[in-house]
Homo-oligomer: A and B are copies of this chain.
Amino acid sequence: MSCTVNHRDGYVPGIEIRTDLALEAREEVQKQTVGEIAGVDAENISEDGVNVNRVHIRNQEGSLKLGKPVGRYITLEAPGIKEKDVKVEDKLSVVLSRELQQLTGLHQNHQLSVMVVGLGNWNVTPDSLGPKVVEDLLVTRHVFELKQPQEQGMFSEGFRSVSAFSPGVMGLTGIETGEIIQSLVSRVEPDLVIAIDALAAHRLERLHTTVQITDTGVIPGSGVQNSRLGINRETLGVPVVAMGIPMVVEASTIAGEAMDALVNAFQKEGSSGGTSMAGTIKNFDWNQKRQMINEVLKPYNGEKLMVTPKEIDAFVDNISQVVAGGLNTALHPKMSETEGGKYLQ
């Protein structure tokens, strides 16, 4: 049996919700499901202001249901980060470091070399997360490449070979992002690739407060439809972990939510009222809804319009430092967790 799951555009099948978070996809599907969702495991732990949620899509059945590839998705939620609470920032950095190590086995093998890829367009504020994280990393590969071990100095122990770069987006380079990454991975031959990306969420409360870590890789956003190349184990030949943070909610999500709120209100009133009302609402379907949303969001097409808080520039700077701090300590055992964040601010 061959089944084609179109994971590309982040839509959850059947319920027409656009999200890059497996956590949200599961939430929405669960609402409409009696009992557990087949093929999908989930667990939730809370520690000191950081909520750790693990969704495991075990097979094709679960993948089809949630509209996401088979694999593990760890989501860290830290609402306190929005208030610039230093304690929550530190905790998130520590948890992120630990979860990343457990998912990849980094802590068990200090010889594994890593390449970090910062996806996204540095000229577009909400899309600049990946490049910003990369700028704050402790990069060491060039020191390890030195012929004489004595020149490697302080890096010889407690540090790992790490390379990093930001491939930009196709509109800036004329080259598909996946092609650039494939070329460099073939040349540099890292043991693991970690890709950092900005995501779109379904729920506003997830903006700038949530980190998703997954071993399924990532498919770079918006581009020429039929040629986008995934950044994953299949295309790169090495394990790929993607870390993403929701930076926008699409304008079409907000428009859809507003419509749903209205329909709910009418349904309540309608149920106590006449029958023709119920009939009208029953006839209202997803195609109509999507058409109306497109109408409202003309002259831009819906995908290019985003909803963000006004403070987004500050949020991107802040969260990218927290993520870089967590990454630095996960990669380099020598860097204590507190110093990971401070090292290259």
Report the minimum CB–CB distance from A138 to chain B (whole Å). Answer: 10
B288 near A204 (CB under 8 angstroms)?
Answer: no
Given the interface pairs A293-B258, A344-B84, the reply to whether A123 lies near B135 with Cβ below 8 Å is yes
A139 near B258 (CB under 8 angstroms)?
Answer: no
Which of A31-39, A50-58, A313-321 contacts the other chain?
Answer: A313-321
How many interface residues does chain A have, given as a range? 35 or more
Given the interface pairs A262-B292, A299-B205, A306-B310, the reply to whether A184 lies near B174 with Cβ below 8 Å is no
A123 near B280 (CB under 8 angstroms)?
Answer: no
Q: C-beta contact mask, A102-139 vs B, less than 8 Å → 1, else 0?
A: 00000000000000000000011111000000110001
Q: Is A172 engaged at the interface, CB distance under 8 Å to the other chain?
A: yes
Q: C-beta contact mask, A138-176 vs B, less than 8 Å → 1, else 0?
A: 011111011100000000000001111101101111111
A313 near B124 (CB under 8 angstroms)?
Answer: yes
Q: Is A15 engaged at the interface, CB distance under 8 Å to the other chain?
A: no
Which of A66-74, A233-241, A266-274 contacts the other chain?
Answer: A266-274
Which of A5-13, A17-25, A211-219, A248-256 contacts the other chain?
Answer: A248-256
Residues on B with C-beta less than 8 A from A124 are: 310-313
Q: Is A182 engaged at the interface, CB distance under 8 Å to the other chain?
A: yes
Query: A221-240: which have CB < 8 Å to B?
Result: 224, 226-227
B164 near A258 (CB under 8 angstroms)?
Answer: no
B254 near A257 (CB under 8 angstroms)?
Answer: no
Residues on B with C-beta less than 8 A from A277 are: 270, 274, 276-277, 280
Give Cα distance in the complex from A168 to B262, angstroms.
39
Report the minimum CB–CB distance from A314 to chain B (whole Å). Answer: 7
Q: Is A99 engaged at the interface, CB distance under 8 Å to the other chain?
A: no
Give Cα distance in the complex from A188 to B171, angstroms.
15
A127 near B310 (CB under 8 angstroms)?
Answer: yes
Q: Is A3 engaged at the interface, CB distance under 8 Å to the other chain?
A: no
How many of these chains are in the complex?
Answer: 4
Q: Which of B135, B258, B299, B306 contacts A172 (CB 8 A)?
A: B135
A251 near B307 (CB under 8 angstroms)?
Answer: yes
Report the minimum CB–CB distance from A316 to chain B (whole Å). Answer: 10
Given the interface pairs A274-B277, A276-B274, A280-B270, the reply to whether A262 lies near B265 with Cβ below 8 Å is no
Give Cα distance in the complex from A222 to B129, angstroms.
27
Give Cα distance in the complex from A179 to B174, angstroms.
20
Residues on B with C-beta less than 8 A from A45 are: none
Q: Is A14 engaged at the interface, CB distance under 8 Å to the other chain?
A: no
Residues on B with C-beta less than 8 A from A344 are: 84
Q: Is A287 engaged at the interface, CB distance under 8 Å to the other chain?
A: no
Give Cα distance in the complex from A172 to B163, angstroms.
8
Report the minimum CB–CB distance from A151 to chain B (whole Å). Answer: 9
7 A-B contacts, Cβ less than 8 Å apart? A175-B184, A182-B187, A265-B292, A276-B276, A304-B309, A317-B345, A345-B345
Additional A-B contacts beyond A179-B187, A274-B276 (13; CB < 8 A) = A124-B313, A140-B174, A142-B170, A165-B175, A204-B297, A251-B254, A254-B258, A255-B255, A255-B258, A256-B258, A261-B295, A270-B276, A304-B310
